Chain A
Amino acid sequence: MPQISGPTRAYRVVQIHPLLKCNLRCLHCYSESSPTQLPSLRVDRLCDALDVLQREGFNGVGLSGGEPLLYADLPRLLAHVRGLGMLATVTTNAMLIDDAKAAMLHELTDLVAISVDGGRESHNRLRGHPRAFEMMRDGAARLRRAGVPFGFIFTLTLENLHELQSVAEFAIAEGATLLQVHPLEEVGRATAALRGAAPDALELARAFVEVARLQEEYSGRLVIQYDVADVDVLAAHPERGYAMAPGEACSLAAADGTPLADLIAPIVIEADGAVVPLQYNFARAFQIADLNAGPLDAQFDAWKSARFEPFLALCRATYQRLVGDGARQYPFVNWYGEVLAAAGSGFGVRGSGVLVLRS
């Protein structure tokens, strides 16, 4: 069956934020997670949604938050994911991992991703906690002893590229299999707390060179994954950015029974029940469904017929701006961040592939 390969090809993931409660209040948080945040999703509602989404072709679930280890029903939710035959990953600050939680994660997850933001000083400053680094390291050690595959996620800012090598060495020393380098996005709390700290084009380019150097140096010991789009690759494969020519994909949506995952992945379930494309806090004008608003099948069908085409047009407009910009100095962009920003910047779509600005 035809499908759009999107940015992640065969790995078609549902990212779930079951709660916004967190033991930390990080400066770079892309939501507003904190100890005082209360919204959370009922586990039975999430399990019901995953039943539908698995039938719609999704094969992976990424759990984050908030801090997912504060979600009381996490074991039940992960067991359900496992029962559906889907891959399960958990993103955590690792500070709350005790031996019991490590054993649970060993049984029910495929990979745990631990956030790390540089050396001890940088990490603790961004996390707003004087012992965040030590507690994270203790949690990682418990995972290692329990045999849980884990990796680290390094948030790249305008100011911390020089710490990447020490983070890579730390990751190897701790027994990680993966180091994910992800650019800071100035959304959520980071909008105000870290204004101007997102890496610009020059810093993304320098980071690419550094990632390649470190990958060569640590080849065979650590996989380093850099979460930016190469503009030249995007230009050659616009479908990876959902930026096909207008009309090219819409016949897919119109076909009866086309699974949702053949059209859009990743998708995100937020703590208020909203299901959105690609990114946390994606503009609600492009919302796919609401877990609190009735049967998902009907909502998915409605999205395919009414909102999929505007979504494609949004991606196409973003693509044309990124790829068609002859003045671009360096060929790397944070594609997810660019589309998120475009969706929230007042772009609306009316008609077939025609962009108009909302007044």
Chain B
Amino acid sequence: MSEQPRGSSKLGELSHEELHLAIDAARASYKIERWWKYGQPAIDRISAVLDITDVRQAPSVLGGLTNLHSAQRQVSFDVFPYGIPVIDGVRVQLRIDQVTGK
């Protein structure tokens, strides 16, 4: 296998200098910010449902979610208290959209 020609050789030859120029040009449009494993797509949206069963923890959990928000990561969530007549839990429907680096 290793005696076969390089795949890149069939795309045309590039000198060392030409390749560096090509890399610089390519980086202008394509950035690798994160790296992933075989079979793992660069997920750019996470949806989750969190059940907070100790209502005393709810403020800190929601505060933590709020702190996740940034220019690169859009965090939104809806909060549904449950329990009648006394609230004994909180359900949070969470969505995180993030820039994937592409």
Q: Would you call A159 and B1 a contact (CB within 8 A)?
A: yes
CB neighbours of A87 from chain B (8 A): 43, 46
Interface residues on B, range: 35 or more
Stretch at the interface among A45-53, A189-197, A347-355: A189-197
Indicate if the CB atoms of A240 and B34 lie closer than 8 Å.
yes
**A30 proximity list for chain B (CB < 8 A):** 38
B48 contact set on A, CB distance < 8 A: 59, 85-86
> Interface digits, A147-173 against B, CB 8 Å rule (1 contact, 0 not)?
000010101011111111000000000
In the assembled complex, the CB of A160 is this many whole angstroms from the nearest CB of chain B, namely 5
> Is the Cβ of A158 less than 8 Å from the Cβ of B30?
no
Task: Report the bound CA distance from A62 to B36 in whole Å.
Answer: 12
Interface residues on A, range: 35 or more
Partner of A207, one of B8, B46, B49: B8
Answer whether residue A91 sits at the interface, using C-beta atoms and an 8 A cutoff.
yes
15 A-B pairs with CB atoms under 8 Å apart are A8-B36, A11-B43, A60-B40, A64-B39, A155-B38, A162-B10, A196-B1, A208-B30, A209-B26, A211-B26, A215-B29, A216-B30, A223-B102, A330-B19, A331-B23
A interface vs B, CB < 8 Å? 1, 7-11, 13, 15, 30, 59-60, 62, 64, 85-87, 89, 91, 111, 113, 151, 153, 155, 157-164, 178, 180, 182, 194-197, 202-203, 205-213, 215-216, 223-230, 233, 240, 266, 278-279, 329-332, 335-336
- List 6 extra interface pairs beyond A85-B49, A206-B14, CB under 8 A: A85-B48, A89-B40, A180-B41, A206-B11, A209-B23, A223-B102
Task: Give me the interface of B with A, judged by CB distance under 8 Å.
Answer: 1-2, 4-8, 10-11, 14, 16, 19, 22-23, 26-27, 29-43, 46, 48-50, 64, 68, 73, 96, 98, 100, 102
